Structure 1
Amino acid sequence: MARTESKMLALGTLAPEFSLLDTISKQTLNLHALNGEKGTVIMFICNHCPFVIHVNPEITKMAIEYRKKGIHFIAISSNDVENYPEDAPQFMRIKAKAENYTFPYLYDEDQSVAKKYDAACTPDFYLFDDKLKLVYRGQLDDSRPGNELPLNGKDLRNAIDNLISGKEIDPMQKPSIGCNIKWKKNS
């Protein structure tokens, strides 16, 4: 299992716009239709990565909990499905249902959105405020497959809670670690 760190996009960056296929609803959705009243979490994930499989229960739980507080979650998969067919849209839809995702699971076929966000790994987490300005990027928490640390989302939860309550978010943030995004050969 390869361990790749997120690249840590500069805080204050405006969320790049996108319109992508939602594999759950089978509709094309865009960022401005999906963003939350108080903030938006954008996650780059995929079906097969052991790091994503490990965090799925917590991200599903957090999405339900924070939606009531004005924070929306959006998942995007940008993997090359020619070489990683288990990440194809039809399987994304199955995964979303199996994991009880309550958020859109978008397919970035040409990988342009991952490039705009400078995403490097799965999972890769970004928290944007109500003006779609980046206030947090990094890990969910310290838990990784096999390290026996609790899966509790503490890093991302702390950032979201501070955003909601108007408190400063610590700019010292730990990068996420996961599988590298599976880039197409011509990318």
Structure 2
Amino acid sequence: MARTESNMISLGTLAPNFHLKDTNSNDFFTFSACKGEKGTLVFFICNHCPFVHHVLEEILLVANDYRVQGIGMVAISSNDVEQVPEDSPKLMTEFAFENSFDFPYLYDETQEVAKAFNAACTPDFLLYDSQDKLVYRGQLDDSRPGNGIPLSGSDLRGAIDGLLYNRSINPIQKPSIGCNIKWKK
């Protein structure tokens, strides 16, 4: 299991737009369609990654806790399915159903969206404010597979709470660590 850190792009960066197919509904979504009134959380995940499996329960709790407070949520998978067949759109649909995703799970077949967001790993979290400016990029919390630290979502939750309650968000943010995105050759 490769340990790849997320790219710590500049805070204030505008969210790129996209037009991707949701593997749950077969509808197409844009960034604007996924936006929440108070902000938007974009996270890059995939079906097979042990880092994603480790944090998935907390991701679902974060989605349930904050979606009702005006935070839009969208998951994107950008892995090359020729290299990792278990990340195919059909299996994404099954993964989303089995885990009760209540947010779009989009397939980035060309990988252009991952490149536009400068995504590097799974999971990779990017939080945008209501003006689509990046206010947080980094880890969910300090928990990793096998390190014994319980999941809390503390880093991401702190950033979302800061956004919701007009508190300052600490600009010193730790990168997420996970499996590298499997880029097409």
TM-score with structure 1 setting the length: 0.98
**Tell me, what secondary structure is at the counterpart of 1:75?**
strand
Q: CA deviation at 1:9?
A: 1.3
The separation in 2 between residues aligned to 1:33 and 1:175, in whole angstroms, is 27
Q: CA deviation at 1:108?
A: 0.3
The separation in 2 between residues aligned to 1:83 and 1:4, in whole angstroms, is 17
**Tell me, what secondary structure is at the counterpart of 1:86?**
helix
Deviation string, structure 1 residues 113-146 (Cα, Å, up to 9, x no partner): 0001110000000000011100000000000011
**Aligned partner of 2:114: which letter?**
A
The separation in 2 between residues aligned to 1:97 and 1:61, in whole angstroms, is 16
**Aligned partner of 1:127: which letter?**
L
**Aligned partner of 1:177: which letter?**
I
The separation in 1 between residues aligned to 2:128 and 2:109, in whole angstroms, is 23
**Aligned partner of 2:13: which letter?**
T
**Aligned partner of 1:168: which letter?**
S
Aligned residues: 185
The separation in 2 between residues aligned to 1:56 and 1:102, in whole angstroms, is 13
> Does residue 167 of the first structure (1) align with residue 167 of the second (2)?
yes
Is there any run of 5+ residues in structure 1 with no aligned partner, and where?
none
Q: Which residue of 2 aligns with 1:90?
A: 90
TM-score with structure 2 setting the length: 0.99
Is there any run of 5+ residues in structure 2 with no aligned partner, and where?
none
Matches within 5 A, 1:16-165: 16-165=16-165
The separation in 2 between residues aligned to 1:62 and 1:5, in whole angstroms, is 21
The separation in 2 between residues aligned to 1:87 and 1:38, in whole angstroms, is 31
Q: CA deviation at 1:16?
A: 0.1
Deviation string, structure 1 residues 82-128 (Cα, Å, up to 9, x no partner): 11110000000000011111110000000000001110000000000
Q: CA deviation at 1:72?
A: 1.4
Q: % of aligned pairs identical?
A: 63
**Tell me, what secondary structure is at the counterpart of 1:100?**
coil
**Aligned partner of 1:37: which letter?**
E
The separation in 2 between residues aligned to 1:4 and 1:106, in whole angstroms, is 22
**Tell me, what secondary structure is at the counterpart of 2:59?**
helix
**Aligned partner of 1:41: which letter?**
L
Q: CA deviation at 1:162?
A: 0.6
